[in-house]
Structure 1
């Protein structure tokens, strides 16, 4: 069915499934109640139902399939029944009015782009059974302010939280071994990050996290060194990045005759103040192109 004039639906008795593409493109459909006997909702079943504001999913449904609610841009809230174990790729992609969603504890798989561009979503809880946060799962969820990653997660995919510009803090469990490229890029409100130093981090993972870098620079040198590890942006030496930050902060003015190189990052004066390079020494070590990169991130 592809009827943009359809506004309401009455199901016949005995319906147990909604086939693929059943309501695809029904842009005038505002609400629908799926019968309790339905156990399966097909591929792209409600794709592009842009006027749909409410829907009830029966308890016997076990899977939210690929593209099922993609483009339901007026949908504000939805409750996924406890029997669901899988949320497919693009399942709620571009549901831009969705402010709240409850994911049951039984869900073990959340697909690529599942909540991509859900720009009104403010909070979400990932069940403990989920072990992978896939590519672009929460990309451009610009209102998402809080996120708890379960201890069982071992991998965070490419651009998983990219452009989550309201996200302020996140803790990466010790079990996470890999964070994909651009996973937290443009998370401009992120000021607190906790993660294991053993994790493998993809290119541009934290690029343009301007508040995070500023918070680190205001704190202490080890934090700055960790946050500006060369893997986190591009292949530029840690020492040069830290020195650039120090010069930009203007903290070198009172420091004289300090050694250059990695050892200078580890030394502390007796009053606890870090001992960075002098301005002239630091500037001599930093290529002009690096200064532009550092300024861009700050």
Structure 2
């Protein structure tokens, strides 16, 4: 069945969902300037569509759940791709975003699970929250120079992503931005980045090494949790806090240098870093929270400096693979400790 729109006004279906007709091919006529909110939402049989040059805006949810749509060309003139515009277009393998687009909306391509490649043009300055969330076939992407913030969850769950280029102008990597990018083996974080959000690289299980830029002052909650192939990481001198579970489950990490500026090592910061054999805690650290080195089963030695006044419970408890306790060769604890916590009995 072929259906051709003859009017220049493009109306959406009642409640955004077609109830009677199944459209396979749609041609939008010249004169249409906007594809509105939920216009083709749920057109699950739609396999092809032509968008004319006059269109300027693709509204929110416009093509959501068009699960048979395999390819689409967005023509020059479009400036905005709305929130959730192509969400759950699970057969979409390729899409061309033209020069002129400045904004990719929130979750715009969420669950486009067949999308293997996409080019983001240089004019784009904003990549919305979750824009490519769970695009599980996406293998590589280049973020254009105009982007300064990579928003929360933008590439979360892109499990086939092996390479990504982040431009020098980026200053912030949002929460859970690359979480679950399990094929990502290497990434360069530009020097201008000052904030890496919580869980930003969590479960990037193929990532082997990473350098954190000098401008970052806090390694936040779960930032590198579950990076099980990570063998080397450089923490810059400006960091003052290593957050909760920051390196939890980094089971291949054999050595790490904590810079002198760090004052707090939070809960479970190095939990289950089972290959870590030794660590030097700098003199500026005053607090080591509970479970900071819990189940670091290869630890042989640790020195706790004079400035530490609080050690949480289970900080150094080591359990081997068979759950049996093992002992450190030695632990040096300063006489300045005012609080040494123990686990409460149940």
Does TM, normalized by the shorter one, top 0.5?
A: yes
Alignment correspondent of 1:206 = 247
8 Å Cα contact 1:190/1:212 also seen in 2: yes
- Residues 1:237 and 1:26: Cα distance change in structure 2 (over 3 Å): closer
- Residues 1:291 and 1:49: Cα distance change in structure 2 (over 3 Å): same
- Residues 1:4 and 1:174: Cα distance change in structure 2 (over 3 Å): same
Task: Kindly state the Cα deviation for residue 235 of structure 1 after the two structures are TM-superposed.
Answer: 2.6
8 Å Cα contact 1:169/1:191 also seen in 2: yes
CA distance in 2, matches of 1:26, 1:234: 49
TM-score where L is the length of structure 1: 0.77
TM-score where L is the length of structure 2: 0.67
8 Å Cα contact 1:206/1:233 also seen in 2: no
Q: Quick check: 1:17 aligned with 2:53? A: no
225, 246, 256: which is aligned to 2:280?
225
Higher RCO (Cα < 8 Å, 6 or more apart): 1
Task: Kindly state the Cα deviation for residue 40 of structure 1 after the two structures are TM-superposed.
Answer: 1.4
Alignment correspondent of 1:67 = 107
- Determine helix, strand or coil for the equivalent of 1:55: strand
- Residues 1:68 and 1:243: Cα distance change in structure 2 (over 3 Å): closer
Alignment correspondent of 2:161 = 121
- Residues 1:231 and 1:110: Cα distance change in structure 2 (over 3 Å): farther
Alignment correspondent of 1:273 = none
Matching of residues 182-201 of structure 1 within 5 Å: 182-199=222-239, 200-201=241-242
Q: Quick check: 1:110 aligned with 2:150? A: yes
Task: Kindly state the Cα deviation for residue 233 of structure 1 after the two structures are TM-superposed.
Answer: 9.0
Alignment correspondent of 1:290 = 317
76, 80, 83: which is aligned to 2:116?
76
Q: Which structure has the highest strand share of the two? A: 2
- Residues 1:196 and 1:99: Cα distance change in structure 2 (over 3 Å): same
| Residues 185-217 of structure 1: per-residue CA shift (max 9 Å, x gap) | 010000011112441221010011011047889
8 Å Cα contact 2:220/2:246 also seen in 1: yes
Alignment correspondent of 2:141 = 101
Instruction: List gaps (5 residues or longer) in structure 2.
Output: 1-39, 258-273, 306-312, 324-346
Alignment correspondent of 1:245 = 299
- Determine helix, strand or coil for the equivalent of 1:210: coil
CA distance in 2, matches of 1:178, 1:215: 16
CA distance in 2, matches of 1:234, 1:185: 17
- Determine helix, strand or coil for the equivalent of 2:118: strand
- Residues 1:173 and 1:166: Cα distance change in structure 2 (over 3 Å): same
8 Å Cα contact 1:42/1:68 also seen in 2: yes
- Determine helix, strand or coil for the equivalent of 1:25: coil
132, 154, 158: which is aligned to 2:194?
154
- Residues 1:23 and 1:48: Cα distance change in structure 2 (over 3 Å): same
- Residues 1:219 and 1:55: Cα distance change in structure 2 (over 3 Å): closer
Alignment correspondent of 1:169 = 209
8 Å Cα contact 2:206/2:228 also seen in 1: yes
